[in-house]
Amino acid sequence: MSDTGPFQRLYRVQQLDLDLDRLRAEEGNVPDALRDARAGQERLNNELEDIEIALEGVEKSIRQLEQDLAGTRDQAQRAREEQDKNAFDARTQSQYGSRIQMLGERAEEMEEDLSPLRERQRDLSAKAADLRAEHRALRPTLTDLEAQDEARVQALRDQGAGMRDERAALVANLDSRTVKEYDLIRRAKKGVGIAEIQGGRCTGCNVNLPVNVQQRAVQGKMPPVKCPSCGRFLIRLN
C-alpha cells in the first residue's frame, strides 16, 4: 500500500477530523481560574443586587416614616399655637393640651420605629460598599483571565483552520462517494469512521475479523473493506 494512496489520504482525513473534534472540545474547556473568577463575580453581583433591593425597601420605609413624623410635628406645632391663642380659655387649653400630648406620643413612637430602620440602612450600605470593593478588586484579574482565554480559543481556531485547509485538499482528491460514506459512518460511530486492524481484530468493536477481510484490508484498495460487525472502514497500518 502506497503512503500517498487514496486510502492513506482518507485515513489522514480521519486523523484531522479527530484532531478537530479534540480542538472543539478543548475550546469549551475553560480554565478553573477563569471559571472561579466568573462564578465569584456572578455571586458578588447577585448578592449586591439582593442588598440593593433590600436597601431600597428600607429607605422607602424611612422616607415614608420621616414624612409622617414631620406632618405630626407640624400638627403639634399648630396645636401649640392654637393653645397660645386661647390662653384664657381653660377648656380649649385643655383640649389642645391632650392633643399636643397625643401627637407627641405618636411622634415618639415614630422615632422609635425609625431607629432600627436607620441601623439596618447603615448595615446594608456598609455591606453594599464591601461587595462593590470586592467586585472592583476582582475585575482586573477577571479581565486578564478573559483576555488569556480569548487568546487560547483563538490559537485553537488558528490551529483548526490549517487542519481544515489540509482536509479540504485531501478530500478534493478522493472519491466523493467514499468520503460521504466515511462521514456517515463517522457520525454514526462516535466520530471514528476508520478502524485499525490489530492482532486480527477490529479496534472499533473488538470483533475477530475473518482472514479474507484482513487480506482485503491489507491490499488497501478503494472503496475500503468494512468491518462485518460495526460497519467501519478497516485499515491495517503494518
Determine, following the binding rule CB under 5 A, whether residue 205 of this chain makes contact with Zn ion: yes
As a whole number of angstroms, the distance between CA 204 and CA 233 comes to 10
Helix (H) / strand (E) element for 196: namely: strand 194-198
As a whole number of angstroms, the distance between CA 174 and CA 178 comes to 8
Going along 70-182, which residue ranges are E strands? none
Determine, following the binding rule CB under 5 A, whether residue 213 of this chain makes contact with Zn ion: no
- For residue 235, report the phi and psi dihedrals to the nearest 5 degrees: -135, 145
Determine, following the binding rule CB under 5 A, whether residue 197 of this chain makes contact with Zn ion: no
Toward Zn ion, which CB reaches closer, 11 or 96?
Answer: 11
Which region among 96-104, 121-129, 147-155, 199-207 touches Zn ion (by CB under 5 A)? 199-207
**Contacts with Zn ion, 118-137, as mask; x by CB under 5 A:** --------------------
Q: Identify whether the C-beta of residue 178 lies closer than 8 Å to the C-beta of residue 224.
A: yes
> Looking at the chain, how many residues does it have?
238
Determine, following the binding rule CB under 5 A, whether residue 202 of this chain makes contact with Zn ion: yes
Determine, following the binding rule CB under 5 A, whether residue 69 of this chain makes contact with Zn ion: no
User: CB 6 → Zn ion: shortest distance, Å?
Assistant: 21
List CB contacts of 66: < 8 A, sequence separation 6 or more: 114
Work out which of 69, 156, 227, 235 binds Zn ion, going by CB under 5 A.
Answer: 227
Using CB under 5 A, count the residues that bind Zn ion. 6
User: CB 25 → Zn ion: shortest distance, Å?
Assistant: 24
What single-letter amino acid sits at 62? I
Determine, following the binding rule CB under 5 A, whether residue 203 of this chain makes contact with Zn ion: no
